Copies of this chain bind each other. A is one copy, B any other.
Amino acid sequence: MIKSFVQYIEISEPQLGNNTADVERIKAVIKKITKQDAIFFPTTLANDLPQKLRQWNHKIKVVLFKNSLGWQIVDILKPDRDRAVFGVAIDLGTTRIVLRLINLESGVSCGELSFDNPQVAIASDVLARIHHARTKEGLIELKELVISEINNYIKKLSPKELVYLVAISGNSAMTHLFLGVDPTFLIREPYIPAINVPEPVAACEIGVDINARGVVYLFPNIGSYFGGDLISGILFCGLHKKDNPSIMVDVGTNAEVVVGYRDWLIACAGAAGPALEGGISDMGMAAKPGVIDRVKIDHLTGDVDVHTIEDKPAVGICGSGMIDLAAELFLSGMLDIRGQLVPEHCKDRYFEKDGVGYFCLVDNSSQKNLPNIELSQVEINSLTSSKAAMYSILQVIIEKIAGLKFDDLEKFYVAGTFGSFINPKSAISIGMLPDIPIDKFEVLGNSSLEGASKFLLNPDSFDEIEAIRQAITYIELNVNQEFMNIFSGAKFYPHTDASRFPSVKIK
């Protein structure tokens, strides 16, 4: 198997007695190095090949790619060319899009840029975007918004003609919208994607502005609620190769969970039911300068210490900050086991407005134009639902579906950009993540981007992704009575069944 999508090869010279055409001689070498018979040589690539081949003494550099039928030759380049052959890995997030430029030969990352998903201008949530895409015009508008902005950013990273491959990992809805494929039925029962395994597309065919012969690959979906970003995450952390059952959880959007190892994989996702709606990503603000991402409370004095991104004056709190805060409030007794603020312990940080309790996290009254950072009981209730939903899903998939115990897990991977800021200790304290040894947790960072990058540097990944896809048993989570019972217990801090959280010690 080849180690890079860019290969230097030498072709046998033509001779009397062997009238094998130029194209077929090239194909023969590619067959040999890929150990595969299915090689697609696009006919138009032959146009100026004969002269080139002879000028270059039958040595060439080939850019290769794959589709579901076999290898395809993307371009044929000068063997000693002095310019790079680039790929761009893209994490196609609902709210944020991240691009990474990768030298396909050296493997070196040569730049990274991110920007807000411009589809937010139409609607910030996915459901509204899918509604917008009901009309052909709406669909094309959403597609073009995202592609034109990606084009702008690719240009900032590299001269476009040097970029040959783009690998994109996003959820099912984002994948459909990017391709301009009608996403309507993703969200209607029985929740059927239009396409699960998109073949790589010619960049020019969908308007991605890279090399004229460039190809765009999108990670496949498993189902409407289990997208390519998770496949990419599995590829990155290697869940499918573990020796013992492990779990990968994306706490970024809806709770999406994969549990398994080299023998089997079970994926569980769903936005069904009010318990899961909104999800954990709705908590707090997106990470940006001034946003509180870490909170400490002195359990004895009740002194609050907040950390803001880039140490700027506090402007709000993000999801991981919320989890930290809830954990600290709970551990210092300011939040009771039902998730209610305890006024007498919150002391002067507690106040009420219109009958709703509030906790004042940061008093900005000394700062001009900056409001206080306050947290209402309503927001805490929402966090409580979210953390309970997360734990319930984990409990269902691990205990009910996989028939394991949390302690059986070798690794607990936390995926997604949101997940990368979570302090697992805090998440355990509020009963959101199971109480297993901290060193089993591994925060993957932007696993979607990392998986896409890994893909661009490992041609084997193509088959690996298909193997992952085939190995996964996908279960759509139904909110039934049993789930609701589990959910009710999980709405307590950390849980009605305290024996599940032996390490959580309350003041």
Contact = CB atoms under 8 A, between A and B. Distances in A.
Contact of A223 (B19, B43, B195): B19
A374 to B, nearest CB: 42
Interface in A18-32: 18-24
Nearest to A199: B43
Given A38-B69, A50-B185, A21 B196 contact: yes
A194 B49 contact: yes
Nearest to A16: B190
Contacts of A136: 48
A196 B14 contact: no
A297 interface: no
A201 interface: yes
A181 B47 contact: yes
A19 B49 contact: no
B23 A191 contact: no
Contacts of A221: 21
B189 A46 contact: no
Given A47-B181, A180-B44, A189-B16, A21 B194 contact: yes
Give the residue among A20, A22, A223 with the most B Cβ atoms within 10 A: A22
A205 interface: yes
A462 interface: no
A40 interface: yes
B190 A19 contact: yes
A206 interface: yes
A50 B198 contact: no
Contacts of A67: 40
A205 B24 CA distance: 21
Contacts of A246: none
A192 B47 contact: no
A503 interface: no
Contacts of A201: 42-44
Interface in A173-197: 179-182, 184-185, 189-197
Nearest to A191: B19
Contacts of A181: 43, 46-47, 49-50
A189 B181 CA distance: 51
A46 B179 contact: yes
Given A179-B47, A182-B48, A474-B19, A40 B199 contact: yes
Interface of A: 14-24, 38, 40-44, 46-51, 54, 67-70, 136, 139, 179-182, 184-185, 189-201, 205-206, 218, 221-224, 474, 476
Given A40-B67, A43-B199, 18 more contacts: A19-B190, A19-B193, A21-B197, A22-B192, A23-B196, A23-B197, A24-B197, A38-B68, A42-B199, A46-B194, A47-B139, A47-B182, A48-B136, A48-B182, A49-B182, A50-B184, A50-B194, A69-B70
What 5 pairs across the A-B complex have the smallest Cβ distances?
Answer: A69-B69, A14-B192, A21-B196, A21-B193, A16-B190
